[in-house]
Structures are given as structure tokens and as C-alpha cells.
Amino acid sequence: MFNRNRRPVGPRRFGSSSPSKFGNNGSRFRQFSQGRGRYGNKFVSYDMVQRYIERASAKKDITITEVEETRSFSVLPLQSRLKENIKARGYEKMTPIQDKAISQILENRDVIGIANTGTGKTGAFLIPIIERIAKDSSYKALVIVPTRELAIQIRDELQHFSANMSIYSTVCIGKSSMYSQKQQLRRNPHVVIGTPGRLKDLIERKDLNLSMFRIVVLDEVDRMLDMGFVEDVRHIIGFLPPVRQSLFFSATVSSQINSLIQSFVKNPVSISVKNQETTNHIEQKVMRASGEAAKIELLHSLLSKEEFGKVLIFGRTKRNVDKLTKALFEKGYKTASIHGDKPQANRQRAIQMFKQD
């Protein structure tokens, strides 16, 4: 357990430089203070510092909006194996956010992606990360997400896209064996995907060293804010190197989210793909019921219809979810509930049964 009132470690900043030093290979290095952090002062290459300054001093942000026609993945400068894996997934053309984000990420730009769920955000950051790792096996990426299910989903997509490319990943999430996650981290994976709470635990226990990670991705930033993970995220990012690439993806950007993002990025490219394509095919209806009993009966009448083969029902509280699950089960429906108090194995089993049954 951690005291959430503890003052978080802020993002590290450059301090004053020490006299030039020469390594064994003759390369020039300067030492920069990274502020408070577990790993003390680091040596950062002079070229890396120059690139950081160039990015930070660019004149203005770039805003790119959605395009009507998107390009094929074949036009991207990607490894042939990666292109084959993308094709094997059935993807030929990029989605709008992929079309614009992938090239910017490959150019080492910080990116803020604003897009609805279902627009291809995951591929937009995984594909360039895989390309980087394929070219440089020392490249390491950290992906921070709000939920365990999303972490596993991203890990699965990563494995599909990186098949037969010797790229390794680890999922660090709560309600799962910390011992197993520690063992996997010792194998030095290329990509670590995790939820804020578990990542913070592993950092505090010195099982996760972020000093060599060169890119950080925050997916579904708006949900992380809603779930109260802001200070944990700030704490985690404070352990990353100051010279890094930062990618943020969110469905919405409030003033609070924008303030959080701007504190970690340098001259970001803002890519907004807020189209209506993901909702045009959804028919929305409001049905009113007076009282819990009436609500159950109304739901029962809906579920009895033939077109309701598989149904996802969202509840306001964990207790209500369990009560509704029991009530529907007693009416003869095959039901399963998923919420934060359920063991991760149970949650995964319920999801797999829903997909396969």
C-alpha cells in the first residue's frame, strides 16, 4: 500500500551541465542533473541533448485533422515482416489516426491523439514502436493504461503485430501474480504494459527500472483522470529519462487533461480524429422504469427478444452489478459479472466465454 498523499516525484528536468567528459570510445558526454529520482544523476549523450533542444525550441504545435482518404500500410517505411503481420490481421488501409500518427511517431515527435474508441488508436502507437524495436533491440517502451482488460488487449495486439520478430512484452497489472511479473521484468522485455497502481508498486520495490525507456504511451487518458490515477501517473513518469518520446491518446481533452499532457510533452503534434463513424450505426433509445423491480422486468422483456443474442450491461456500482447478475441468472440467463473486486482470472474467463459462446 502507498500513501497517496505523499508528494509525487515530478518530471525530471535538465539542470546545469558539468565539464565535458570523454568516454572510452571518444564520444563527448555531459552530465545533467535529473532532479529527484531513484536512480540519481545520469550521463546523457550530447547528441541526444541537442535533439531534445531542437524539439523543445520548435516554433509551434502542429494540428492535423481527419482526412477522407487514407493510405495503404504498404507505403510506410516498415520492416517487411511487420507489413506481413499487419496484412495477416486483415488490415490493408490505415485508419485516419494511423495515417497521420504513425509517420509522426516514426519521426520521433511527441503526439497527442484525440479519437473515439474503435478508430485504431492501438495500432497507431504499436506499429511504430514495433518498427523501432525491430531496428534497435535496446529500444524500450512503457504503455500505461487505466484497466487490466485494456492492458491485456494491447498485449495481445502487440503479439499479433510482432509475430516472429523476437519482440518481448510484459503485462504488469493488479489482481495478478506480482512474483510472475517480477520474473518477466528480469528478462528485460522491450515493452512493458501496465496499470498505474501496479507499475507504481514495482517501481517502489525497485523491480522496474525506467531509466532506459525511450518512449511512454498513455492510452485513454480521460479514463485515467476519471479513475483518480493522475498523481500515480505523474509519479511514474517522474522516473523516466528526460530525453524521451511521449504519446497521449484520449477520446476527450478537458482543461485538466490538457494541463496534465502539456506538462510532459515538447512541441507535440495534435491529431484530432473526432468523426461520427463509430456511432452512426448505433441506435440509441431511452426506456424509463420506476423502481428496481420494474427495471428488471423491462430488461427481461428486452433480453427475451431474438435479436438480443449477446448483451453487455453496464451498472453504476459493483454491488448493483452483482445483484443484477444474480437476478438475471435466476430468470434463466447465462450471466457473468466483471468488476474490480473480481479476480483477474475470473474476469478474463468471463470475457473469453462471451467472445466464444
What is the rounded distance in angstroms from the CA atom of residue 203 to the CA atom of residue 2? 12
Among residues 125, 130, 129, 119, the alpha carbon closest in space to that of 95 is found at 119
Give residue 274's pLDDT: 65
Which residues contact residue 83 at a Cβ distance below 8 angstroms, ignoring those fewer than 6 apart? 73, 74, 76
152 touches 143 (CB < 8 A): no
Sheet holding 269-273, edge to edge: 62-65, 269-273, 111-115, 245-250, 215-219, 141-144, 191-194, 169-172
What is the 8-class DSSP label of residue 94? P
Which residues contact residue 51 at a Cβ distance below 8 angstroms, ignoring those fewer than 6 apart? 108, 243
Consecutive sets of 10 residues in the chain, 357 residues long: mean pLDDT of each?
44 40 39 39 48 47 57 95 96 93 96 88 97 97 96 96 98 94 97 98 97 97 90 95 95 86 90 65 78 84 82 87 88 86 80 76
CA 174, 180, 186, 190 torsion: positive or negative?
A: negative
**Structural domain boundaries in the chain:** 57-273, 292-356
Give residue 349's pLDDT: 84
224 touches 196 (CB < 8 A): yes
Q: What CATH fold (topology level) applies to the domain 57-273?
A: Rossmann fold (3.40.50)
The residue type at 347:
R
Beta-strand pair 191-194/141-144: parallel
Give residue 13's pLDDT: 40
Give the Cβ contact number of residue 157 at 10 Å: 15
Give residue 340's pLDDT: 77
| CA distances to 203, 228, 272 from 161, in Å | 28, 31, 24
C-alpha cell at 37: 529520482
Three-state secondary-structure class, residue 237: helix
Give first-to-last CA distance, the chain, whole Å: 38
167 touches 198 (CB < 8 A): no
107 touches 215 (CB < 8 A): no
Give residue 198's pLDDT: 97
Beta-strand pair 245-250/215-219: parallel
Which residues contact residue 176 at a Cβ distance below 8 angstroms, ignoring those fewer than 6 apart? 148, 198, 344
Among residues 10, 277, 247, the alpha carbon closest in space to that of 108 is found at 247
